[in-house]
Copies of this chain bind each other. A is one copy, B any other.
Amino acid sequence: MSVPTNNPSMEFEKLDELVQLSPFHQWLGVRLQALSKDGVELLMPWRSEFVSVAGIGYTHGGILAALIDIAGDYAIAAHLGHGVPTVDMRVDYHRPAMPGPLLAKAAAIKLGRTLCTAEARIHDEAGLLVASGRGVYLNRR
């Protein structure tokens, strides 16, 4: 349902480099997985610090919120050629995310001169939807 149908302006390697510039992204281990006119896909491996409750093992909602924010940001960056500060964000949690890599898919909904909007979904290894959300980003240099 994404509205901007134009191709991204950035190349895969340049965008992946941009993703990895951030120390927090490096700690998360987030990497660009796919880039197309449908949006971006980011892969995040699991690490034990993500665990929400000891002994249960699912990933903390704060980590999922971070991944939604990041995925939306790079769905916009793919078009603008640079990262964008987040104005605000919403996350909906659908299922516990058990240990294992997570895949976030995000697409731009609106690319405005001042504000941009993106939506994102996170799936687990089995393809189940664990969280989804959207963010608004400020388009400024």
Contacts and interface: CB of A to CB of B under 8 A. Distances in A.
Interface of A: 1, 3, 21-25, 27-28, 48-54, 60-63, 65-67, 69-70, 83, 85-94, 105, 109-110, 112, 114-115, 117, 119, 121, 129, 132, 134, 136, 138, 140
A40 to B, nearest CB: 14
Identify the interface centre among A62, A69, A92, A109: most chain B CB within 10 Å of its CB.
Answer: A62
Given A24-B62, A85-B93, A136-B136, 17 more contacts: A1-B105, A22-B51, A23-B54, A24-B60, A27-B49, A61-B69, A86-B93, A87-B115, A88-B88, A88-B90, A88-B93, A88-B136, A89-B91, A90-B90, A109-B129, A117-B132, A119-B132
Contacts of A52: 22-24
Contacts of A105: 1
Give this chain's copy count: 4
Interface secondary structure of A, over-half rule: mixed
A98 to B, nearest CB: 14
B129 A110 contact: yes
B22 A53 contact: yes
B129 A3 contact: yes
